């Protein structure tokens, strides 16, 4: 961010931009304190979703709907919607990825699989083939909970579609057909014993290492997966050209579109008293020239249309293609809801993967958690 701030202030010497850099949890704590005291930054990092909605309800954010209207169409619509609440735009996204399956192409070939599965039934059939070939089909971090939550989220989305999932989040009623069927799909996956030994106590770095070391064939993860796999692999190289990506399969009979996506990224929210110069900086930062540099420098996956060609990695190009095709984008549920609600969703859904719960109990537990918020 420093380079863009220097470029902006050089062109606008009357503007001073002061940066405060904080680690993730320290940032959340300090920002909450500042908002409570009324000392709200003009611009600050945001993931959108539930925390941003709470900030808007507290009167801490500025309505920038009209301010960005002249240039908002240059931004991916799905990504932009994550920074809107009740029809009002409170921030803008500059980086947005898509969760999908990262897989070992060599392991697939060895198992006799010619290409990525298009349907959930195909996916389950490939799980069996991979297991028979002697590799753990799917790495998962049972202790961390959130990786498996993303898999369950996609199944709800494929079963019910974006409107149904949005209604569940907004109404708090998760006792739905889509929620139940998603849990049943997880049970069908569990029946194949697809996970690595010890998955119940595994954390995310364990999951990434298994794929990076060629000990597991797949993981469902966001766009950061290749770098973490590489860092956690024994040779610090990861799978290299053996690594591929494919979108979450469709579910036969489900109402969700094949292009519906789940993901997230990074954005900037605007404080309630932010001056016009703050909005002007956002416009500058989100210009095509600056976002092309963001992509080419591997800082993120820009949300600005027309900058995709600056990404050279073929797997990330596939992620961008999936993101571009998405007619509905669901923010990670533990970000789309409040922190407490997100934890409740994680706690409920992990029970499916550990075999300690069932679909009806999961849907009821999430509904009960929503009622207590």
- Residue 330: CB partners within 8 Å, gap ≥ 6? 153, 157, 162, 165, 166, 260, 261, 262, 263, 336
The yes-or-no verdict on residue 373 having pLDDT over 90 is no
φ and ψ at residue 268, rounded to 5 degrees: -130, 125
Equal fold, 2-98+264-331 vs 100-260+337-371: yes
pTM as predicted = 0.90
> 327 falls in which pLDDT band (50, 70, 90)?
confident
CA atoms within 13 A on the CB side of 333: 32
- Lowest-pLDDT range of 24-38, 179-193, 277-291, 332-346: 24-38
Q: Which sign, positive or negative, has the C-alpha torsion 350, 352, 353, 354?
A: positive
Work out the percent of the chain whose per-residue pLDDT is above 70.
99
Say if CB 327 and CB 260 are below 8 A apart. yes
Strands 265-270 and 43-46: what pairing? antiparallel
The yes-or-no verdict on residue 91 having pLDDT over 80 is yes
- Residue 134: CB partners within 8 Å, gap ≥ 6? none
The yes-or-no verdict on residue 289 having pLDDT over 90 is yes
- Lowest-pLDDT range of 77-81, 118-122, 158-162, 358-362: 77-81
> 339 falls in which pLDDT band (50, 70, 90)?
confident
Q: Which tokens is 88 given?
A: 């009002």
- Residue 355: CB partners within 8 Å, gap ≥ 6? 190
Indicate the domain borders of the chain. Answer: 2-98+264-331, 100-260+337-371
Q: Mean pLDDT for the chain? A: 95
Alpha helices in 248-357 (DSSP H): 276-285, 288-296, 314-325, 333-336, 339-354
> 229 falls in which pLDDT band (50, 70, 90)?
very high
pLDDT at 24: 67
- Residue 177: CB partners within 8 Å, gap ≥ 6? 159, 160
SS3 242: helix
The yes-or-no verdict on residue 365 having pLDDT over 80 is yes
Q: Is 334 exposed, middle or buried (0-12, 13-18, 19+ CB in 10 A)?
A: buried
CATH 3.40.190.10 is right for the domain spanning 2-98+264-331 = yes
> 70 falls in which pLDDT band (50, 70, 90)?
very high
> 50 falls in which pLDDT band (50, 70, 90)?
confident
**Averaged over 347-357, what is the pLDDT?**
97
Task: Tell me the pLDDT tens digit for each residue of 93-117.
Answer: 999 999 999 999 999 999 999 999 9
The yes-or-no verdict on residue 25 having pLDDT over 70 is no
Work out the percent of the chain whose per-residue pLDDT is above 90.
86
Q: Which tokens is 330 given?
A: 């669901």
Q: CATH second-level architecture of 100-260+337-371?
A: 3-Layer(aba) Sandwich (3.40)
The yes-or-no verdict on residue 78 having pLDDT over 80 is yes
pLDDT at 22: 78
The yes-or-no verdict on residue 2 having pLDDT over 90 is no
Place of tokens 């990861």: 238
**Averaged over 144-150, what is the pLDDT?**
96
Q: Which tokens is 284 given?
A: 């500058």
Task: Tell me the pLDDT tens digit for each residue of 242-264.
Answer: 999 999 999 999 999 999 999 99
**Averaged over 155-164, what is the pLDDT?**
97
φ and ψ at residue 246, rounded to 5 degrees: -145, 150
SS3 89: strand
The yes-or-no verdict on residue 269 having pLDDT over 80 is yes
Q: Which tokens is 298 given?
A: 């591997």
Q: Which tokens is 14 given?
A: 């009357």
**Averaged over 199-210, what is the pLDDT?**
97
The yes-or-no verdict on residue 172 having pLDDT over 80 is yes
> 370 falls in which pLDDT band (50, 70, 90)?
very high
pLDDT at 221: 97
**Averaged over 191-201, what is the pLDDT?**
98
Q: Which tokens is 265 given?
A: 């990224």
> 32 falls in which pLDDT band (50, 70, 90)?
confident
Query: Could you say which DSSP state residue 123 is in?
Result: H
């Amino acid at each position: 961010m420093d380079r863009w701030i220097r470029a902006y202030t050089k062109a606008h010497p009357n503007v001073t931009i002061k940066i405060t850099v904080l680690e993730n949890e320290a940032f959340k704590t300090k920002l909450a304190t500042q908002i409570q005291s009324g000392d709200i930054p003009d611009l600050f990092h945001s993931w959108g979703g539930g925390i941003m909605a709470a900030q808007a309800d507290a009167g801490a954010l500025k309505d920038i709907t009209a301010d960005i209207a002249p240039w908002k169409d240059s931004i991916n619509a799905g990504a932009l919607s994550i920074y809107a609440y009740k029809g009002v735009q409170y921030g803008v996204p500059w980086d947005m990825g898509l969760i999908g399956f990262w897989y070992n192409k060599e392991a697939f070939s060895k198992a006799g699989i010619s290409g990525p599965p298009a349907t959930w039934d195909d996916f389950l059939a490939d799980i069996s083939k991979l297991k028979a070939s002697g590799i753990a089909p799917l790495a998962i971090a049972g202790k961390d909970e959130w990786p498996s939550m993303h898999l369950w989220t996609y199944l709800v989305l494929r079963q019910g579609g974006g409107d149904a999932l949005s209604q569940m989040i907004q109404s708090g009623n998760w006792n739905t057909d889509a929620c139940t069927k998603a849990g049943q799909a997880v049970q069908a996956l569990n029946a194949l014993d697809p996970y690595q030994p010890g998955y119940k106590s595994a954390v995310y770095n364990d999951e990434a290492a298994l794929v990076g070391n060629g000990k597991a064939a797949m993981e469902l993860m966001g766009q950061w997966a290749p770098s973490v796999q590489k860092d956690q692999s024994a040779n610090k190289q990861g799978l290299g050209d053996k690594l591929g990506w494919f979108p979450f399969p469709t579910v036969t009979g489900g109402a969700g579109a094949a292009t519906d996506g789940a993901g997230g990224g990074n954005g900037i929210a605007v404080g309630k008293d932010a001056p016009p110069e703050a909005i002007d900086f956002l416009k500058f930062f989100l210009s095509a020239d600056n976002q092309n540099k963001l992509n080419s420098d591997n800082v993120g996956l820009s949300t600005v249309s027309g900058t995709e060609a600056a990404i050279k990695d073929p797997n990330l190009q596939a992620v961008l293609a999936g993101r571009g095709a998405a007619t509905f984008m669901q923010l990670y549920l533990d970000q789309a809801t409040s922190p407490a609600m997100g934890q409740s969703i994680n706690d409920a859904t992990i029970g499916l993967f550990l075999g300690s719960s069932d679909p009806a109990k999961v849907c009821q537990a999430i509904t009960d958690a929503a009622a207590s918020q």
